[in-house]
């Protein structure tokens, strides 16, 4: 699979034809001054977007930048508060998705919205089946579907059941359905998020052939490499505002990431944390993974985690940060590679096995994967320890009271009431309770995925401080965060993820945000990424 | 005042109020309702009857409470009760010492072992194969009566064994044995769930299965255990029912008892969405159901309409528990001037 990605990157510059000049044809869609507000929030503020026929246009921005809202304005799901939407020069006011579709705008969403128990042809022509004598003319329907599929170069039997195909093919059928409505504009919202490298290839071929037939494609993706490979032009949004429009050929990945994040490459103040003893890594790692990976989620990855060391993981959303964490802690089961605990290979198929080996995991999705809302703070804290003891050996009430009191005090949890219901606590305090849940199990390795997301500044600083102290006491910590400053403040080593691969591992001897940003943006942009990738050569690949 | 408000917010208050209302109604219609008299060393009275007849429902509801707390449901308990009664009766009837105490004990042990096996089957379907509980237990709900028929050869098997008779119809220290058994199981369940960590782990699995899995809880074992426990309780209930009539009726023993049990659990304030459970609530709920069933004929309404009244009771209790109605009521209490906003339930 990595070969596929490499090939893709190699052909990137050559494969992209120069976009037609602006003057050759006017935009087929022109949005200007779009404003949409929700109670208390201005989701879009004066945003513009132009889509040219025969061009793939990428819409870029971090989470919450307004990409989805803008797409929903274009497809008629949201009504706009101000601004104008022009299709072929004609002003439209969409009051529903049907009107947008009638104007020639088709959308394929991230989740496939088709009927898996119908045939491919039935799905493609659902609601507009060719009829004869008042009944559906199945032969004509299959013929029509076959024509469209052939036009897209897809080898799919129109009479087969949709559910019998993998998600990737279903996605392509969804595109075929969208195209069949004589779409002038095709909106693809994260179409590749559940596809593997080869499937992405097929999808891109289809998108290119549509582009060459004159369709304007709006492409939304978190994968920078894919965006640079496929798109001709891009629009960048940040915090609900328009930042810039570029020809893809005229911007580097680094510049793009800077525009998305909205930060100049300023030098950050160095931080107070002492780096781990350089001699320490010579000791046997607490946990070592070799070639660990999972199809479609993470390519084979090597990583060694040592006592007293904080390893930061950086990368954009969808780069594989969370996938790496989940494989490290047995939350997902790897389909390749192995896990070694203190030098011995261990089965690693459930969180329980990881916990028994001294590995603790705080998930990025606090609400869904951490908080047990209707239990008390005390029960939430004790849960992991109790689970390892089994139900027959309850943690003695006195021990429990003491542990809970100690951690409420040490982590400054408020309210300081062990019997408060967990769901009534603020996000920051819930996070602290979850940290306490794991610290009580006295883990050797603590994996923290976005431990400071969505919590207030004070709690954030306390958690960072705690991580530094834990490492100083000899715990190995994996610290994953979207905030690079935070990662650099704490980490002894930084692992950079991109496109579900580990692309670099750098010792944090004064790394700066700009260095990491450059690595995140792409290997071709700088030498930094090539600097240190220590383990990858020695590891046998599956 | 704050104490009253806290009391009103507690989930136990409405079931208790409903039960008390029923009792008051009964006392009005029949002033002797609460009187209990001692005769021949046994207690008699309407209240004692309600307790004795309600014992099987209470037992089944205890098991159901734990199952529901894990986000599950067990529809097969009625069928398991029938099978348990059938196994015990057929074994006693087939023995050459039909009235010996040993025969009864062996038969009842066998019956409970069969019930536990059936619980293992339910738990296997739900926790290992991942079949939705309502479907998984529907299998045994429908097939179980057929199994009971096979055991009894389609006949109503009658037995004469004084030891067996004791379980459903006997008295110990003037109190019906069935009531004592139900109370002992109730107490044991309370101890088992609240003195060990089982209750907390059951609740954690029911509230947030994924968080529990990531915290290392062996949810498969927990879920399996509660289905086995529910089947065990149903088995004991089946013995009581068969013992009370000294007969195994494969068709009618424990018929619809699963619905009464679910009702008792819901009335007792345990949410069908899983999570926090209240054994005390279930206790009150089971008493409420049984009292309701006794009240209806005694105040001169035909017994066939029993189900209608149960339905009304369910709707009322569910409304009282729904967040919307509760907040409407709360708004009404705190701002009487805007009483129109809150619709009384």
| Residues B82, B302: Cα–Cα separation, whole Å | 27
Q: What is the pLDDT of residue A391?
A: 87
Q: Counting every residue, how long is chain B? A: 345
Q: Quick check: B333 contacting A, CB < 8 Å? A: no
| Residues B281, B285: Cα–Cα separation, whole Å | 6
| Residues A435, A474: Cα–Cα separation, whole Å | 17
| Residues A302, B219: Cα–Cα separation, whole Å | 31
Residues A309 and A321 in one domain: yes
Who has greater pLDDT, A483 or A379? Answer: A379
- Contact at CB, B216 and A437, closer than 8 angstroms: no
- Contact at CB, A391 and B222, closer than 8 angstroms: yes
A53 and A69 in contact (C-beta within 8 Å)? no
**Residue in the block written with tokens 């990595």:** A2
Who has greater pLDDT, A310 or A222? Answer: A310
Q: Which residues in chain A are contacts of B189 at CB distance < 8 A? A: none
Q: What is the pLDDT of residue B338?
A: 40
B193 to chain A: nearest residue by CA?
A391
Local confidence band at A282 (pLDDT 50, 70, 90 cut-offs): low
Cα angle A425, A429, A435 (rounded to 5 degrees) comes to: 130
* Peptide bond before residue B87 is cis, with ω within 30 degrees of 0: no
Q: Which residues in chain B are contacts of A373 at CB distance < 8 A? A: 207-208
Question: Is pLDDT at B2 greater than 60 in this prediction?
Answer: no
pLDDT tens per residue across span B225-267: 999 999 999 999 999 999 998 888 888 888 889 999 999 998 8
Among A261, A292, A312, the domain-final residue is: A261
Q: What is the pLDDT of residue A106?
A: 87
Q: How far is A331 from chain B (nearest CA, A)?
A: 7
A440 to chain B: nearest residue by CA?
B215
Q: Quick check: A391 contacting B, CB < 8 Å? A: yes
Average pLDDT for residues B85-92, to the nearest whole number? 94
- Contact at CB, A394 and B195, closer than 8 angstroms: yes
Question: Is pLDDT at B328 greater than 80 in this prediction?
Answer: no
Among A424, A442, A460, the domain-final residue is: A442
Tell whether A295 is covered by a domain.
yes
Question: Is pLDDT at A121 greater than 70 in this prediction?
Answer: yes
Question: Is pLDDT at B84 greater than 70 in this prediction?
Answer: yes
Q: Which residues in chain B are contacts of A329 at CB distance < 8 A? A: 214
Q: Quick check: A352 contacting B, CB < 8 Å? A: yes
| Residues A18, B146: Cα–Cα separation, whole Å | 75
Domain count, chain A: 3
Q: Identify the residue among A331, A353, A372, A446 best suited for mutation to test binding to B, counting B beta carbons within 10 A and taking the highest.
A: A372
Question: Is pLDDT at A84 greater than 70 in this prediction?
Answer: yes
| Residues A494, A309: Cα–Cα separation, whole Å | 11
Tell whether A500 is covered by a domain.
yes
| Residues A526, A253: Cα–Cα separation, whole Å | 11
Residues A237 and A211 in one domain: yes
Q: Which residues in chain A are contacts of B71 at CB distance < 8 A? A: none
Q: How far is A448 from chain B (nearest CA, A)?
A: 13
Average pLDDT for residues A269-294, to the nearest whole number? 67
Q: Is A347 left (phi over 0), alpha (psi -120 to 50) or beta?
A: beta
- Contact at CB, A391 and B196, closer than 8 angstroms: yes
Q: Identify the residue among A362, A374, A418 best suited for mutation to test binding to B, counting B beta carbons within 10 A and taking the highest.
A: A374
| Residues B37, B44: Cα–Cα separation, whole Å | 5
Q: What is the pLDDT of residue A491?
A: 92
Tell whether A272 is covered by a domain.
no
| Residues A373, B271: Cα–Cα separation, whole Å | 14
- Selecting from B207, B208, B216 the residue whose C-beta is nearest the C-beta of A387 gives B216
| Residues A81, A83: Cα–Cα separation, whole Å | 7
Local confidence band at A55 (pLDDT 50, 70, 90 cut-offs): very high
A437 to chain B: nearest residue by CA?
B215
Local confidence band at A4 (pLDDT 50, 70, 90 cut-offs): very low
Lowest-pLDDT range, A176-185, A237-246, B167-176? A176-185
- Contact at CB, B197 and A351, closer than 8 angstroms: no
Q: How far is A368 from chain B (nearest CA, A)?
A: 7
Question: Is pLDDT at A428 greater than 70 in this prediction?
Answer: yes
Q: What is the pLDDT of residue B11?
A: 67
Q: What is the pLDDT of residue A452?
A: 82
Does the predicted interface ipTM exceed a cut of 0.90?
Answer: no
Give the number of other CB atoms < 10 A from CB of residue A406.
13
Residues A245 and A338 in one domain: no
Q: How far is B98 from chain A (nearest CA, A)?
A: 40
Residues A233 and A309 in one domain: no
For residue B42, what are the β-bridge partners? B39
B205 to chain A: nearest residue by CA?
A372
B276 and B69 in contact (C-beta within 8 Å)? yes
- Contact at CB, B222 and A395, closer than 8 angstroms: no
Q: What is the pLDDT of residue B185?
A: 96
Q: Which residues of A, range 519-538, sit inside 8 Å of B by Cβ? A: none
State the CATH number of the domain containing residue A64. Answer: 3.40.50.300
Q: Quick check: B6 contacting A, CB < 8 Å? A: no
Question: Is pLDDT at A67 greater than 90 in this prediction?
Answer: no
Go through B298-324 and write b for each residue having 16 or more CB atoms within 10 A of its CB, e for each that does not: eeeeeeeebeeebeebbeebeebbeee
Tell whether A461 is covered by a domain.
yes
Tell whether A268 is covered by a domain.
no
What is the DSSP pairing of strand B171-172 with strand A185-189? unpaired
Q: Quick check: A371 contacting B, CB < 8 Å? A: yes
Q: How far is A299 from chain B (nearest CA, A)?
A: 23
Local confidence band at A216 (pLDDT 50, 70, 90 cut-offs): very high
Q: What is the pLDDT of residue B37?
A: 86
Q: What is the pLDDT of residue B333?
A: 55
Tell whether A145 is covered by a domain.
yes
Average pLDDT for residues A496-525, to the nearest whole number? 83
Tell whether A267 is covered by a domain.
no
Residues A212 and A90 in one domain: yes
| Residues A105, A2: Cα–Cα separation, whole Å | 35
Lowest-pLDDT range, A46-60, A258-272, A317-331? A258-272
Q: Measuring CA to CA, how many Å separate A330 from each of A134, A335, A350, A366, B248?
A: 56, 12, 5, 17, 51
Residues 6+ apart with CB under 8 A from A190: A110, A220, A221, A222
Question: Is pLDDT at A425 greater than 60 in this prediction?
Answer: yes
Residues A319 and A350 in one domain: yes
**Residue in the block written with tokens 């979207």:** A482
The pLDDT > 90 percentage for chain A reads 38
B202 to chain A: nearest residue by CA?
A391
| Residues B81, A49: Cα–Cα separation, whole Å | 68
Q: What is the pLDDT of residue A274?
A: 52
Question: Is pLDDT at A2 greater than 70 in this prediction?
Answer: no
> What's the distance, CA B120 to chain centroid?
19
- Contact at CB, B198 and A391, closer than 8 angstroms: yes
Across chain A, what does the average pLDDT equal? 82
Local confidence band at B7 (pLDDT 50, 70, 90 cut-offs): low
Q: Quick check: B10 contacting A, CB < 8 Å? A: no
Instruction: Please name which of A221, A216, A234 lies closest in space to residue A105, comparing C-alpha atoms.
Output: A216
Lowest-pLDDT range, A64-68, A109-113, B105-109, B189-193? A109-113
- Contact at CB, A372 and B208, closer than 8 angstroms: yes
- Selecting from A369, A394, A395 the residue whose C-beta is nearest the C-beta of B214 gives A369
Q: Is A370 left (phi over 0), alpha (psi -120 to 50) or beta?
A: alpha
| Residues A113, A120: Cα–Cα separation, whole Å | 13
Q: Quick check: A393 contacting B, CB < 8 Å? A: yes
Local confidence band at B65 (pLDDT 50, 70, 90 cut-offs): very high
Q: What is the pLDDT of residue A496?
A: 93
- Contact at CB, A386 and B210, closer than 8 angstroms: no
Q: How far is B192 from chain A (nearest CA, A)?
A: 9
Q: Quick check: A392 contacting B, CB < 8 Å? A: yes
Question: Is pLDDT at B1 greater than 80 in this prediction?
Answer: no
Residues A242 and A319 in one domain: no
Residues 6+ apart with CB under 8 A from A182: A104
- Contact at CB, A372 and B207, closer than 8 angstroms: yes
Q: Quick check: A369 contacting B, CB < 8 Å? A: yes
Among A421, A442, A463, the domain-final residue is: A442
Give the number of other CB atoms < 10 A from CB of residue A474.
14
- Selecting from B207, B216, B222 the residue whose C-beta is nearest the C-beta of A375 gives B207
Residues 6+ apart with CB under 8 A from B92: B98, B103, B104, B107, B159, B161, B164
Local confidence band at A29 (pLDDT 50, 70, 90 cut-offs): very high
Q: What is the pLDDT of residue A38?
A: 75
| Residues A416, A436: Cα–Cα separation, whole Å | 13
Local confidence band at B103 (pLDDT 50, 70, 90 cut-offs): very high
| Residues B164, B244: Cα–Cα separation, whole Å | 9
Question: What is the full DSSP assignment across A249-297?
Answer: GG--HHHHHHHHHT---PPPPP-SPPPPPTTGGGSPPSEEEEEEEETTT
Cα angle A188, A103, A145 (rounded to 5 degrees) comes to: 60
Q: How far is B176 from chain A (nearest CA, A)?
A: 33
Residues A348 and A485 in one domain: yes
Q: Quick check: A355 contacting B, CB < 8 Å? A: yes
Tell whether A541 is covered by a domain.
yes
Local confidence band at A263 (pLDDT 50, 70, 90 cut-offs): low
Local confidence band at B300 (pLDDT 50, 70, 90 cut-offs): confident
Spell out where A398-499 has E strands. Answer: 445-449, 476-480, 493-498
Question: A478 by DSSP, 3-state: which?
Answer: strand
Give the number of other CB atoms < 10 A from CB of residue A35.
16
CA atoms within 13 Å, Cβ hemisphere of B141:
16
Who has greater pLDDT, A536 or B272? Answer: B272
| Residues A167, A109: Cα–Cα separation, whole Å | 13
Expressed as residue numbers, the domain containing A460 is 284-358+446-542
Residues 6+ apart with CB under 8 A from A267: A512, A514
| Residues A265, A253: Cα–Cα separation, whole Å | 14
pLDDT tens per residue across span B127-186: 999 999 999 999 999 999 999 999 998 888 888 888 999 888 888 988 899 999 999 999
Who has greater pLDDT, B299 or A408? Answer: A408
Local confidence band at B124 (pLDDT 50, 70, 90 cut-offs): very high
Residues 6+ apart with CB under 8 A from A195: A167, A168, A171, A203, A296
Q: Identify the residue among A352, A354, A356, A383 best suited for mutation to test binding to B, counting B beta carbons within 10 A and taking the highest.
A: A383
Lowest-pLDDT range, A67-76, A400-409, A447-456, B9-18? B9-18
The pLDDT > 70 percentage for chain B reads 91
Q: Quick check: A240 contacting B, CB < 8 Å? A: no
Residues A38 and A106 in one domain: yes
Q: What is the dihedral of CA A174, A179, A182, A183, to 10 degrees?
A: 90
Spell out where chain B has E strands. Answer: 37-39, 42-44, 157-158, 171-172, 175-176, 247-248
Local confidence band at A18 (pLDDT 50, 70, 90 cut-offs): very low
Go through B253-263 and write b for each residue having 16 or more CB atoms within 10 A of its CB, e for each that does not: bbeebbbbbbb
| Residues A62, A270: Cα–Cα separation, whole Å | 26
Instruction: Please name which of B69, B19, B124 lies closest in space to residue B262, comparing C-alpha atoms.
Output: B69
| Residues B243, A296: Cα–Cα separation, whole Å | 61
| Residues B75, A264: Cα–Cα separation, whole Å | 63
pLDDT tens per residue across span A358-371: 999 999 888 889 99
Q: How far is B20 from chain A (nearest CA, A)?
A: 29
Average pLDDT for residues B13-27, to the nearest whole number? 88
> Crossing angle, helix B257-267 and helix B77-94, to 10 degrees?
130
Question: Is pLDDT at A317 greater than 80 in this prediction?
Answer: no
Question: Is pLDDT at A535 greater than 50 in this prediction?
Answer: no
Residues A302 and A437 in one domain: no
């Amino acid at each position: 699979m990595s070969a596929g990605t490499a090939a893709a990157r190699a052909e990137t510059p050559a494969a992209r034809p120069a976009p037609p000049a602006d003057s050759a044809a006017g935009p087929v869609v022109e949005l200007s001054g779009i404003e949409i507000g929700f109670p208390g929030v201005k989701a879009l503020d004066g945003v513009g977007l132009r889509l040219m026929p025969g061009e793939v246009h990428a819409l870029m921005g971090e989470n919450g930048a307004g990409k989805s809202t803008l797409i929903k304005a274009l497809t008629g799901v949201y009504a706009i508060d101000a601004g104008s939407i022009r299709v072929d020069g004609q002003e439209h006011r969409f009051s529903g998705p049907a009107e947008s579709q009638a104007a020639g705008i088709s959308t394929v969403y991230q989740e496939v919205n088709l009927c898996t128990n119908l045939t491919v042809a039935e799905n493609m022509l659902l609601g507009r089946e060719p009829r004869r004598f008042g009944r559906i003319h199945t032969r004509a329907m299959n013929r029509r579907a076959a024509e469209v599929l052939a036009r897209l170069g897809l080898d799919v039997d129109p009479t087969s059941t949709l559910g019998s195909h993998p998600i990737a093919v279903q996605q392509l059928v969804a595109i075929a359905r969208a195209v069949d409505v004589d779409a002038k504009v095709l909106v693809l919202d994260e179409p590749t998020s559940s596809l593997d490298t080869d499937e992405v290839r097929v999808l891109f071929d289809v998108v290119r052939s549509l582009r060459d037939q004159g369709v304007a494609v709006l492409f939304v993706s978190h994968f920078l490499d894919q965006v640079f490979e496929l798109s001709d032009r891009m629009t960048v949004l940040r915090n609900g505002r328009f930042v810039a429009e570029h020809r893809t050929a005229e911007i580097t990945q680094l510049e793009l990431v800077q525009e998305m994040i909205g930060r100049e490459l300023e030098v950050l103040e160095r931080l107070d944390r002492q780096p781990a003893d350089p001699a320490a890594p010579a000791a046997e790692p607490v946990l070592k993974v070799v070639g660990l990976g999972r199809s479609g989620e993470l390519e084979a990855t090597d990583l060694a985690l040592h006592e007293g060391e904080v390893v930061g993981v950086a990368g954009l959303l969808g780069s594989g940060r969370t996938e790496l964490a989940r494989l490290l802690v047995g939350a997902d089961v790897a389909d390749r590679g192995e896990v070694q605990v203190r030098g011995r290979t261990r089965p690693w198929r459930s969180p329980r096995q990881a916990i028994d080996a001294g590995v603790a995991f705080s998930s990025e999705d606090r609400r869904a994967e951490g908080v047990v809302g209707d239990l008390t703070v005390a029960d939430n804290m004790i849960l992991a320890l109790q689970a390892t003891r089994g139900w027959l050996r309850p943690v003695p009430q006195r021990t429990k009271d003491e542990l809970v009191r100690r951690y409420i005090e040490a982590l400054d949890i408020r309210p300081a009431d062990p019997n408060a219901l967990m769901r009534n606590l603020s996000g920051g305090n819930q996070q602290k309770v979850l940290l306490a849940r794991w610290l009580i199990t006295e883990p050797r390795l603590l994996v923290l995925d976005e431990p400071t997301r969505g919590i207030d500044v004070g709690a954030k600083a306390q958690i960072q401080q705690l991580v530094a102290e834990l490492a100083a006491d000899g715990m190995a910590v994996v610290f994953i965060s979207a905030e690079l400053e935070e990662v650099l403040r704490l980490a002894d080593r930084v692992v950079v993820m991109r496109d579900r691969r580990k692309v670099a591992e750098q010792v944090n001897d004064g790394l700066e945000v700009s260095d990491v940003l450059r690595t995140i943006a792409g290997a071709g942009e700088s030498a930094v990424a090539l600097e240190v990738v220590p383990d990858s050569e020695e590891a046998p690949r599956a | 005042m704050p104490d009253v408000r806290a009391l009103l917010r507690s989930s136990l208050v409405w079931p208790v109020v409903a039960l008390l209302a029923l009792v008051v109604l009964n006392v009005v219609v029949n002033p002797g309702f609460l009187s209990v008299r001692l005769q021949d060393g046994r207690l008699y009275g309407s209240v004692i009857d309600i307790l004795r007849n309600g014992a099987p429902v209470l037992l089944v509801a205890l098991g159901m409470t734990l199952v529901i707390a894990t986000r599950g449901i067990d529809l097969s308990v009625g069928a398991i009760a029938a099978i348990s009664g059938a196994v015990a009766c057929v074994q006693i009837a087939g023995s050459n010492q039909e009235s010996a105490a040993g025969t009864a004990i062996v038969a009842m042990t066998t019956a409970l072992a069969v019930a536990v096996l059936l619980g293992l089957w339910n738990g296997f379907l739900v926790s290992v194969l991942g079949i939705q509980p309502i479907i998984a237990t529907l299998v045994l709900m429908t097939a179980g009566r057929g199994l009971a028929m096979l055991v009894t050869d389609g006949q109503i098997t009658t037995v004469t064994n004084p030891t067996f008779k004791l379980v459903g119809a006997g008295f110990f220290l003037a109190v019906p044995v069935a009531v004592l058994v139900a109370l002992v199981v109730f107490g044991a369940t309370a101890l088992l769930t609240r003195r060990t960590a089982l209750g907390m782990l059951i609740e954690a699995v029911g509230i947030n299965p994924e968080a529990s899995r990531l915290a290392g809880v062996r949810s498969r074992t927990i879920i399996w255990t509660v289905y086995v426990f529910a089947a065990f309780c149903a088995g004991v209930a089946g013995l009581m029912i068969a013992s009370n009539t000294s007969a195994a009726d494969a068709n009618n023993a424990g018929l619809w008892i699963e619905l009464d049990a679910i009702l008792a659990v819901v009335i007792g304030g345990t949410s069908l969405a899983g999570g926090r459970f209240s054994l005390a609530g279930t206790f009150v709920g089971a008493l409420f159901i049984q009292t309701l069933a006794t009240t209806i004929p005694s105040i001169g309404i035909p017994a066939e309409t029993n189900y209608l009244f149960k339905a009304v009771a369910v709707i009322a209790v569910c409304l009282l528990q729904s967040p919307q109605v509760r907040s409407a009521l709360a708004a009404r209490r705190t701002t009487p001037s805007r009483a129109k906003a809150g619709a009384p339930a």
